[in-house]
Structure 1
Amino acid sequence: FWRHIPNCEDRAECQLCATTEDMKHILIECQRPHRALIWSIAKQLWPNKFGIWPGISLGSALGCGLFEFHNTKGEKIPGAQRLFTILMSECMHLIWRLRCDSVIDRGGEEISIEEAYNKLKQALNKRLQQDIQQSNKARWGSHALPKDVVGSCWFQ
C-alpha cells in the first residue's frame, strides 16, 4: 500500500523486523514488545471456565465475531462469545493504533510497555462501562443487553 505513495515508501516495511508491514505481520508476527504484551494480557483475561484460549491467528482475529463456545452439554456460552469478540477486536484495534502512532505520528519511536498496558486497560474499561450502560432496561427497553450476558462476560 505505502510503496505507491510519495514520501511514505518507508512505511511499507517494518523497521524493527525488516519485512513487509501487512495485516498479518502487524497483528501476529511483529516483534514490537507492545504487540506481544497485548495478546498476552488478552490470554490472561480469558477465564478457564470458558475453555482453552483459542489462540491468535489472522483467521481468529478477523473472524472473532464468528466463534462459538459451547459447554459440555453443547449449549452456547453467550458470555464467552461476547468476551472473545471484545478481547480480540479491542486488541487488534489497539495494536493497529499503536503501530500507526509509532510509525506515522512518532517517526518510528517505539511505544512503551507501560503506555500500551494503560491504553489496553482504558479500552477494556470503556467497553465494560458501555456494556453496563447498555444493560439499563429503563433507558434502552427491549434493546437493552441482557444483564446475565453482561455479567457472564465480565464478572466471572
Structure 2
Amino acid sequence: MACAAIKRHDAGATRLFRILISESAFLVWRLRNERVINKEIPTSARAIHNRWLKLINNRLGLDRAMTNEHKYGKKAVKKNLVLKTWRKVLKNEDDLPKDWTRETEVLVGIG
C-alpha cells in the first residue's frame, strides 16, 4: 500500500513504478501461499519470471482496454497517461504506431 505514496516528476514513470511494485508484491504473496498453504514445491526462477511477465502483460492489456472512452466515458484512463506509463518498456516499441492503445500485439519486453 505504501507504493501509492511514491511521487515522481513524471506521472507516467510514477504510475509504472506503482504498477510494477504492487503487481510484484501480489505475485510474491501468491507464490508464498502456494508454498505454505497448498504445500506446492517452489517453482523455478524461469517459471516465476514467466508468471511475472504474464502478470505485467495482463496489466498492460487492462490499461489499453481502460482507455476506451465509448465504454467507460469519463472514467476512462487518458490515452496519453497510458502511453507515458508504458514508454520505454514495450517490446519492439519503435515499430509500434504512435497510439498503440488499440493494437492487439503489444507486449512488455525484458531485455
Q: Shorter chain as normaliser: what TM range?
A: 0.7 to 0.9
Residue aligning to 1:155: 87
| TM superposition score normalised by structure 2 | 0.73
Residue aligning to 1:127: 59
Quick check: which one's helix share is greater?
Answer: 1
Deviations 1:119-148 (A, max 9, x none): 101110110000000011121111110111
Aligned counterpart in structure 1 of residue 2 of structure 2, from 63, 77, 81: 63
Which protein shows a greater Rg?
Answer: 1
Aligned counterpart in structure 1 of residue 23 of structure 2, from 90, 108, 111: 90
| TM superposition score normalised by structure 1 | 0.53
**Counterpart amino acid of 2:20?**
L
Query: Identity over aligned residues, as a percent?
Result: 34
| Mapped partners of 1:115, 1:140: distance in 2 | 35
Taking the TM superposition and a 5 Å limit, the aligned residue runs for 1:23-38 are none
Could you list the runs of 5+ residues in structure 2 that have no partner in the other structure? 89-111
Other structure's SS at 1:129 match: helix
Superposition deviation, residue 93 in structure 1: 0.5
| Mapped partners of 2:33, 2:73: distance in 1 | 39
Q: How many residues align?
A: 88
Residue aligning to 1:80: 13
| Mapped partners of 1:152, 1:65: distance in 2 | 18
Q: CA RMSD in A?
A: 1.2
Aligned counterpart in structure 1 of residue 34 of structure 2, from 91, 96, 101: 101
Other structure's SS at 1:105 match: coil
Contact kept? 1:134, 1:140, Cα under 8 Å: yes
| Mapped partners of 1:79, 1:100: distance in 2 | 32
Could you list the runs of 5+ residues in structure 1 that have no partner in the other structure? 1-61, 71-76
Greater RCO (Cα-Cα under 8 Å, separation 6 or more): 2
Contact kept? 1:102, 1:111, Cα under 8 Å: no
